[in-house]
Structure 1
Amino acid sequence: MVRVGLTAERLTRAGAELADEVGFEEVTVSALARRFDVKVASLYSHLKNSQDLKTRITLLALEELADRVSAALAGRAGRDALAAFANAYRDYAREHPGRYAAAQFRLDAETAAASAGVRHAQMSRAVLRGYDLTEPDQTHAVRMLGSVFHGYISLESGGGFDHTAADPQESWEWIIDSVDTLLRSRTTR
């Protein structure tokens, strides 16, 4: 019998909360069933399997993050937009580490094309409009932004900067300034 109140959406949100608590890799249908104190079989009327659950959490995280980045970018251009973009990702990762990890989960091509992941690419390009880059430089710059910001966020969240006296916030600002300088220099080439 299906427990009243359990829906795919409720299970997805609970799975996202669980991911933030224990890590995205630890999220399974079994772990979610324990959270609701139900048998695993009762969740299969809402979820296909753990892969389906992780895909749903990924889609939720991509949507939440796209909404946050979009709001941060509104009315901004140039370095201001670059910083807002970067800070929105970093803040989300700090507040929702499991969901941020979920946003990196590989989706099949059809699901990815229908996801908010497309909005992320569009917002990256919107930031870059302030630098007047043409192709293929714009595509290279989109990849650079993702690499630099995701790399920093991953190292920071994994404790990679805990052993040095330099303030990670100062390094973050230095990186944003450096990326801004690099992008402006590419514009004038």
Structure 2
Amino acid sequence: MARVGLTTERLVRAGAELADEVGFDQVTVSALARRFDVKVASLYSHVRNSQDLRTRIALLALEELADRAADALAGRAGKDALAAFAGVYRDYAREHPGRYSAAQLRLDPETAAASAGVRHAQLTRAILRGYDLTEPDQTHAVRMLGSVFHGYVSLETAGGFSHSAPDAEQTWAWILDRLDAMLRHWPGP
């Protein structure tokens, strides 16, 4: 095992690359062992099983997404921040389809609470501060934005918009305009 220099981090990164190539559902400890041309048993000192590997890939993806989103939001507010944030998710899904899928993995409550998923919610709330929403409307808006962004990206990457006009880029801009307008004119209690 030392001859290939395996570490948990290296395995997780290779698993994330594998997910992007073949799909997150195809990532297993066996598939990763084949990638490194080692016996499956040699990986168990680094990951407990395929679920542990998949969870670690999900955590990596959440971290990468949160870092990108934070960078994109720096110095932005309002619609500019909304569009930058949404663009991060869309671009990440296009560049890393397996990792994006991994970021949707349901985590146990303790793992989720310690993950970068918390940062995603905080970053979304930071955008919404520019729209002056109070609770519980802010929580509703966080969930709505996540649903719209994930739904659109999932449909687009599956080819759902490739057979009709207008093109997906126009619809994306239209959606962001409408979301901005809705958030600016959010109805009161």
TM-score by length of 1: 0.97
CA distance in 1, matches of 2:32, 2:187: 49
* Matched position secondary structure for 1:132: coil
CA distance in 1, matches of 2:77, 2:185: 16
- In the alignment, structure 2 segments of 5+ residues that lack a partner are none
Which letter does structure 1 place at the counterpart of 2:19? A
The answer as to whether partners of 1:28 and 1:53 remain within 8 angstroms in 2 is yes
- Equivalent position of 1:97 in the other structure: 97
Mark the CA change 1:117 to 1:33 in structure 2 (over 3 Å): closer, same or farther.
Answer: same
- Equivalent position of 2:150 in the other structure: 150
- Equivalent position of 2:136 in the other structure: 136
User: How far 1:162 moved relative to its partner?
Assistant: 1.3
1:59-98 superposed matches below 5 A: 59-98=59-98
Deviations 1:17-64 (A, max 9, x none): 000000001100000001001111111111100000001000100000
The answer as to whether partners of 1:133 and 1:187 remain within 8 angstroms in 2 is no
**Where in structure 1 do 4 or more consecutive aligned residues deviate above 2 Å?**
1-4
The answer as to whether partners of 1:7 and 1:46 remain within 8 angstroms in 2 is yes
Identity %: 78
- In the alignment, structure 1 segments of 5+ residues that lack a partner are none
The CA RMSD measured in Å over matched residues stands at 1.2
Residue correspondences, number: 189
Which letter does structure 1 place at the counterpart of 2:55? T
CA distance in 1, matches of 2:182, 2:128: 12
1:105-116 superposed matches below 5 A: 105-116=105-116
Deviations 1:138-186 (A, max 9, x none): 0000000000000000000111011113110000000000000111110
The answer as to whether partners of 1:57 and 1:99 remain within 8 angstroms in 2 is yes
Which letter does structure 1 place at the counterpart of 2:170? E
TM-score by length of 2: 0.97
CA distance in 1, matches of 2:131, 2:165: 34
- Equivalent position of 2:179 in the other structure: 179
